[in-house]
Amino acid sequence: MDNENKNKRISSSEEKEIAEKEALELRLKKESANEAAIASGDFTDFDDELEAEREEALKEQVALNDKDIEPDKDAILEVRHLKKYFVLKKTILGKPISSLRAVDDVSFIVKPGETLGIVGESGCGKTTMGRTVLKLYQPTSGQVFFEGVDVAGMKEKEMRALRTKMQIVFQDPYSSLPPRSTVGDILAEPVKVHNIVPKNEVKDYVLELMESCGLRDYYYERYPHEFSGGQRQRICIARALAVKPKFIVCDEPVSALDVSIQAQIINLLKKLQIERGLTYMFISHDLSVVKYISDKIGIMYLGSMVEFGKKQDIFSNPLHPYTEALFSAVPNPNPDEKTERIVLTGDIPSPANPPKGCKFHTRCPKCMEICKHVAPEYKEHEDGHFCACHLYD
Ligand SMILES: Nc1ncnc2c1ncn2[C@@H]1O[C@H](COP(=O)(O)OP(=O)(O)OP(=O)(O)O)[C@@H](O)[C@H]1O
Ligand code: SF4
Ligand SMILES: [Mg+2]
């Protein structure tokens, strides 16, 4: 290589180094300008992109730091920094260009025998969260400890033994049962596949299961189309119970049923929970139902858990303005207690392009300037009562 070429290469690498140094200095300057803006409350020159990058990096760092912490011994389910992104667009090489953040850094704990109610408007990620916890969807990242074992990264083969312990009951009892099988066959199949009882005891086991779910023994030979919605949902519940699970995700299990039937199914779920020591994640739009059945409640908005806590704490002292708005719409049975209805205006933003700062700021009646730029931290305010809102900074 002649001297002239060598000098050119040195000067171009020097230029690159100088440019990188300048870019770093500029970034540090902008970062400290952002910090000063947060401290002073003047967001005129705030760099939202930079703040979003900082928040993302911080979330990743916290998830990484938490990775080696032992799971809670008292929990049947512990979810840490769970994310489920659906890829909307990829490069030719398969690299994601844009994603929809259906579940975005969700963490919580459920103890054995508890019911965790999950509420939030349509599209906030309730179903995706329930399915990802059960590994019916592969998590994008995060940890899901079931009885102390992290199942998030497990292969399907390893999951097989755990599958029986975690079950799901779907919203629509019409489409979730095979039309050409009898009730007996539908309930016997998982029992046989997972060797729950010896072969010669399967029929008796199924008949007993049917009885505990309020299904008459002569239904054994009948087909799903012969039943009403409520009875079909009883069959679905019996099918989930057939493999002796410990944890069941109930995804809007009564939403498709007549109001008169809803209470019967809810009471059946409660009875079965006591008899069998079951733990539920109960997903619903209906706050009255959630209030009746849950021990703890999680409120989701655009893929994030915005508030979480014991039912009494959430109902008597809702912290997040979104929770307040949701609860203000529930009719109060006491006519002497007047509750003012908080009407949320504006459309629900898309989880593919959520608002910067607090995701709820575009609809929040209590929105402050900081909310438009900086995402609030999800933190514990009282014992076991978590919330993500700048009102409590
Ligand atoms: N398989 C998928 N591919 C791409 N996007 C999806 C997929 N499943 C769900 N989504 C999107 O993820 C978001 C969360 O959907 P999800 O069904 O979990 O919401 P939800 O809270 O259960 O709503 P609903 O109350 O209507 O049942 C929505 O924006 C939805 O469109
Ligand atoms: S952080 Fe701000 S916008 Fe978000 S819920 Fe709290 S007050 Fe409303
Ligand atoms: Mg759903």
Output the DSSP codes for 46-86: --HHHHHHHHHHHHHHHHHHHTTSPPPTT-SEEEEEEEEEE
Q: Would you say the CB of residue 378 lies under 6 angstroms from ligand 2? A: no
Q: Which atom of ligand 2 is nearest to the CA of 370?
A: 2
Q: How confident is the model at residue 339 (pLDDT cuts 50, 70, 90)?
A: confident
Lowest mean pLDDT among 18-22, 214-218, 364-368: 18-22
CA of 24 from ligand 3 middle (Å) equals 44
Res 83 pLDDT > 60: yes
**Which residue, judged by its Cα, is nearest atom 1 of ligand 2?**
389
Higher-pLDDT residue of 302, 13: 302
Higher-pLDDT residue of 172, 209: 209
Q: What integer pLDDT is reported at residue 99 of this predicted model?
A: 94
Q: Which ligand is closest to the CA of 119, given by its number?
A: 1
CA of 8 from ligand 1 middle (Å) equals 55
Cβ density class 169-181: b for 16+ within 10 Å, e for less:
bbbbbeebbeeee
| DSSP 8-class letter at 8 | H
pLDDT in tens, 125-147: 999 999 999 999 999 999 999 99
Q: What integer pLDDT is reported at residue 329 of this predicted model?
A: 81
CA of 118 from ligand 1 middle (Å) equals 14
Average pLDDT over residues 321-333: 87
d(CA 196, CA 188): 10
Q: How confident is the model at residue 302 (pLDDT cuts 50, 70, 90)?
A: very high
HSE of 169 in the Cβ direction (CA atoms, 13 Å)? 30
CA of 252 from ligand 1 middle (Å) equals 14
CA of 85 from ligand 1 middle (Å) equals 10
The distance of Cα 329 from the centroid of its chain, to the nearest Å, equals 22
Res 1 pLDDT > 60: no
Question: Is residue 161 classed as helix, strand or coil in its secondary structure?
Answer: helix
Res 103 pLDDT > 90: yes
Q: Which ligand is closest to the CA of 251, given by its number?
A: 3
Tokens of 34: 């952002």
Nearest to 38 by CA among 29, 46, 27: 46
Q: Would you say the CB of residue 128 lies under 6 angstroms from ligand 1? A: yes
Q: How confident is the model at residue 231 (pLDDT cuts 50, 70, 90)?
A: very high
Q: How confident is the model at residue 7 (pLDDT cuts 50, 70, 90)?
A: low
**Which residue, judged by its Cα, is nearest atom 31 of ligand 1?**
123
Opening angle at CA 232, ends 189 and 272, nearest 5: 80
Q: Would you say the CB of residue 284 lies under 6 angstroms from ligand 1? A: no
Q: How confident is the model at residue 202 (pLDDT cuts 50, 70, 90)?
A: very high
Q: Would you say the CB of residue 303 lies under 6 angstroms from ligand 1? A: no
Q: What integer pLDDT is reported at residue 331 of this predicted model?
A: 74
Q: Which atom of ligand 2 is nearest to the CA of 372?
A: 3
CA of 338 from ligand 1 middle (Å) equals 35
Res 155 pLDDT > 60: yes
Q: How confident is the model at residue 3 (pLDDT cuts 50, 70, 90)?
A: low
Percent of the chain with pLDDT over 90: 80
Q: What integer pLDDT is reported at residue 210 of this predicted model?
A: 98
The pTM of the full predicted model, rounded to 2 decimals, is 0.92
Mean pLDDT, the chain, whole residue set: 93
Q: Would you say the CB of residue 364 lies under 6 angstroms from ligand 2? A: yes
